[in-house]
Amino acid sequence: MAVRPITIIGHKALHQPTKKVKEVTDEIRTLVADMFDTMEAANGVGLAANQVGARHRIFVFDCPSERGEDDNFVGVVVNPVLEKGVVPPGEPDEDDGLEGCLSVPGEHFPTPRAEWARVTGTDLDGNPVSYEGEGLFARCLQHETDHLDGKLYLERLTPSQRDLSRQARKERGWEAEGVTKWDPATQKADDV
C-alpha cells in the first residue's frame, strides 16, 4: 500500500467532525491499509482518517500493551463510539500523562484523560467490535476518537500546558510558515 502525508495542527481537516461510514468500499479498505502503513512509518500508536485527509469516521491503532513487549493492541474501528471513566481533576502526572500526536509532530504534553475507556463500532466486514483498556490503550482510544470529533489533544490541556503548547507551535513556525503536512516516508516527526 502507501504512506500518506499527515496533516498537522492548523489544517482545517483536524478541526471538523468526520462523517459516518455508510458502506465499506474498496476505497475505504485501501485507505485503512494506507493508514496502517502511514502509522508504522511515523512510529505512531494510532491514526485517524482525518489525519491523512479523509473525512471518514475510522481510526487504526497498534498500541503497546502493559502486558508485554510483543503484545500490542492492533485494530481498526469504523464509526467508533467512546465510553470513558472520569477524568481526574488538576494537573496530570508528567510520567503517566504525557501524550503526543502525529499531527503535532515532535511535541508531548501531559494531558488529562480517563484511566479507562471503551470504544465500540464495526470492523471492515461490518462485524461488531469492542475494545476496552486502561492506561496507554485507554488514552489511545480517547485520543483517536477525539480526532474524529474534530478535536486535538491540545484542547484538553490544562491552561499552563496550553500556554507551553502555543509557545512550541510558535517556535516551530507552523502557523507562520503555513506548514500543513509532513511525510513520514521521508521525514522524522522531530524534523517537521
Residue ranges of the annotated binding site are 101, 143, 147
Give dist(CA 112, CA 97) in Å, integer.
7
Distances from the Cα of 101 to the Cαs of 24, 45, 67, in angstroms?
26, 9, 23
Give dist(CA 43, CA 189) in Å, integer.
9
- Known binding site for Fe cation: residues? 101, 143, 147
**Cα 12 → chain centroid:** 16
Catalytic annotation on 177?
Answer: no
Give dist(CA 149, CA 131) in Å, integer.
18
Given 144, 155, 171, 177, the catalytic residue: 144
Q: Which residues are catalytic?
A: 144
